[in-house]
Chain A
Amino acid sequence: MSELKVTDLTVKFAGITALDHVGFTVEPGSIHAIIGPNGAGKSTCFNVLSGVYKATSGSVRFGGAELTRMPPHKIAALGVARTFQNIALSRFQSVEDNVMLGRHRLMRAGFLSTGLHLPHARREDARHRARVREIARFVGVAEYLDAPVGMLPYGVQKRVELARALAMEPKLLLLDEPVAGMNGGERRAMAEVIVAARADLGISILLVEHDMGMVMRLADQVTVLDFGRKIASGPPAQVQNDPEVIRAYLGEQAVQQQDGVVMAKGAPGQAQAGVREGALPQGAPEASGEQS
């Protein structure tokens, strides 16, 4: 498992400097959050990491490769998966087919073998569908597998996106505001899945989020961006008290009210909404001191 090392990343377009010499490192198997006010450059950063935007200068290294010079599908081949801030699912296809797309790079059937209905293509399809159903259960969307995605509620669609990203069996997972627009119960469920994914699959997770409670609870490391520049970096507790960070946020961010969320390190497939009691994940501060 390798680290993601972002060095001196700069992105300029249309006269704006969206990212200004940003650097951070995601340690293997850790959860790293990027936070910052709106317009700070968080999504731009993700788009560079997944190859959608071109960096003006700087470097992103993962698995021994330089990502800034690679097209999106080659980055995906390295094991980098992502979800999108505005849902990027294929509206007319079913949930199952959307998640199956995540298996694309793991499968080999092409035009010839599928066109001729060759048995090995059909067997491969069946194998991967079984795995997709497992992942759907893990994420909690198993009951919607046949439905066209466009018809489902927003919260379900976001989980389908997560399932699709997990279906890639990634080494690094980029989550762009995974709980935006969700209510409290949905957020808890999503957070449980994210933690379980890291625990069971050992993936590194890079997370953009506005929900401070969730960030403080989940993240091992936090990087704070403001106007495209990194203004703070470190463990959540340290960042929370950093005067620069407080200045950037003061008066700007409408902070979400959080119930005390207590998380358990549960087994996969138990990503159900609801408060559970049990051990806290390591490194997270106490639930009670959360209101910011």
Chain B
Amino acid sequence: MTTFVELVVNGVSIGSVYALIALGFVIIFKATEVVNFAHASLLLAGGFITAKLHGQLGFWPALLVGIAGAAVLGALVEFLVLRRSRAGDHHVLAIVTIGVDILMTTELTRQIGTDVLAMGDPWQSKVVHLGGISIAQTRIAALVTAATLITCFLLAFRYTSWGIAMRAAAEDRETAALMGIRLGRVSTGAWAVAGALAAVAALFLTVFPTPGLDRTTSLAALKAFPAAILGGLDSTTGALVGGLIIGLTESLATGYQSELSFLGRGIGEVAPFLVMVIILLIRPAGLFGTRELARV
């Protein structure tokens, strides 16, 4: 029983990290209608900066630089690449992000090489014992951080002028522009926010119990795509629910791997994608996504 509770807690914790990534992904989609296939490499960039700098600057400054770096990188991609595109069609822009992803991932994995980089975090491998179950401190930190950030953003969406501008742009770009909303700023802001969230997520994906940041980290981040999709690409609630579902699935599947060994080793990595496929079969637009009503 304790195992089950531990797995659930871990699942919720890792799910909240996926929710962070998915949230950034959905923010970009809502603000600019682009599916950002370069999201995983943004994440890797943020984590890489933190990993490289914590030796010199100390952990917290390094983390801040990593977050800022990823935010700037995201904003740059939006400003330099996407805005320039004459192709208004967002399917085509999605392919641009694929090009960006190829570029960034190749360069970053080259820099990382075969190293496994430590993140220099203060929680290290300390474990907390609560009522018979053991949870890594990093997991608690992840959950608390993610929950705080997500709450902040949801509040910001509702109550700040930036949040309103974002939602207006997501609803109807033309009208928003006519009402005086600077679409360019909204887009850049969205990408910057997404980059920042991804950098935070990168931290929690690479601390204990994982060995550290290595070239496979961006693959781990790819699991956030099913999280965003099964919740519905344009739903922030969906990103959160999706993240939790994916996190729980992965945690439970990995935890009970020995019982599920007939399905093969590493079933925890695949299970999230299977869950996504099943949900999409039932609800093709995701759990909370809006089913498109086309205008003809």
The residues of A with any CB-CB pair to B shorter than 8 Å are: 13-14, 43, 47, 52-53, 84-86, 88
Q: How far is the CB of B68 from chain A (nearest CB, A)?
A: 41
Complex CA gap A52/B295 in Å reads: 10
- The answer to whether B87 has its CB under 8 Å from any CB of chain A is no
Does B295 lie within 8 Å of A86, measured CB to CB? Answer: yes
7 tightest CB-CB pairs across the interface, nearest first?
Answer: A84-B296, A52-B296, A47-B296, A88-B296, A13-B293, A86-B296, A85-B296
Give complex CA distance A53, B294 in Å: 9
Can you show 12 pairs from A to B with CB atoms below 8 A apart?
A: A13-B293, A14-B293, A43-B296, A47-B296, A52-B294, A52-B296, A53-B293, A84-B296, A85-B296, A86-B295, A86-B296, A88-B296
A53 to B296, CA, bound (A): 10
Complex-state Cα separation, A203 to B102, whole angstroms: 55
Q: How far is the CB of B286 from chain A (nearest CB, A)?
A: 18
- For chain B, the count of residues having a C-beta within 8 Å of the partner chain is 4
Q: How far is the CA of A14 from the CA of B292 in the complex (A)?
A: 12
Interface residues of B (CB under 8 A from A): 293-296
User: Which of B294, B295, B296 counts the most A-chain CB atoms under 10 A from its CB?
Assistant: B296
Chain A residues within an 8 Å CB radius of B293: 13-14, 53
How many residue pairs, one in A and one in B, have C-beta atoms under 8 Å apart? 12
Chain A residue numbers with a CB within 8 Å of B294 are 52
The secondary-structure label for the interface of chain B is loop
CA distance in complex: A43, B294 (Å) = 12
The residue of chain A having its C-beta at the shortest distance from the C-beta of B290 within the complex is A14
In the complex, which residues of chain B have a beta carbon less than 8 angstroms from the beta carbon of A88? 296
**Distance of B174 from chain A, by nearest CB (Å):** 15
How many angstroms between the C-alpha atoms of A88 and B296 in the bound complex? 8
| Residues from chain B with Cβ under 8 Å of A52 in the complex | 294, 296
Considering the chains assembled together, what is the distance between the CA atoms of A84 and B296 in angstroms?
A: 6
CA distance A144 to B296 in the complex (A): 25
Q: Which residues of A contact B295 (CB under 8 A)?
A: 86
Q: How far in angstroms is the closest Cβ of chain A from B171?
A: 12
Q: Chain B residue with minimal CB distance to A85?
A: B296
- Who on chain A is nearest to B296 by CB? A84
> How many Å from the CB of B172 to the closest CB on chain A?
14
Give CA–CA (A134, B296) in the complex, Å.
28
Min Cβ gap B136→A in Å is 46
How far is B295's CA from A86's CA once the two chains are assembled, in angstroms? 9
Please give me the residue from chain B that is nearest to A88 by CB atom: B296
Of chain A, the residue at the smallest CB distance from B293 is A13
Nearest A residue to B295 via CB reads A86
Distance, CA A13 to CA B294, complexed state (A): 13
**Separation of A86 and B296 alpha carbons in the complex (Å):** 6
A43 to B293, CA, bound (A): 13
Closest to A47 in B: B296
| Cα A88 to Cα B294 with chains together (Å) | 12
For residue A43, which residue of chain B has the nearest CB? B296
Docked complex Cα distance between A52 and B296 (Å)? 9
Q: Which residues from B are CB-within-8-Å of A86?
A: 295-296
Q: How far is the CA of A13 from the CA of B292 in the complex (A)?
A: 12
B residues in contact with A53, CB < 8 Å: 293
> How distant is the Cα of A281 from the Cα of B295 in the complex, in angstroms?
35
Closest to A86 in B: B296
Residues of A within 8 A of B296 (CB): 43, 47, 52, 84-86, 88
A84 to B294, CA, bound (A): 13
Report the bound CA distance from A79 to B231 in whole Å: 40
Q: Which residues of the other chain, B, contact A14 by a CB distance below 8 angstroms?
A: 293
Q: How far is the CB of A150 from chain B (nearest CB, A)?
A: 13
* A13→B296 CA distance, assembly (Å): 16
- A85–B294 alpha-carbon span in the complex (Å): 13
- Chain B residues near A43: list those with CB within 8 A: 296
A53, B292: Cα distance in complex, Å: 11
CA distance A114 to B293 in the complex (A): 34
Nearest CB in chain B: distance from A114 CB, A: 26
Docked CA distance A167–B179 (Å): 44
Closest CB in chain B relative to A165 CB, distance in Å:
14
A sample of 10 more A-B contacts (CB under 8 A), given A52-B294, A53-B293, is A13-B293, A14-B293, A43-B296, A47-B296, A52-B296, A84-B296, A85-B296, A86-B295, A86-B296, A88-B296
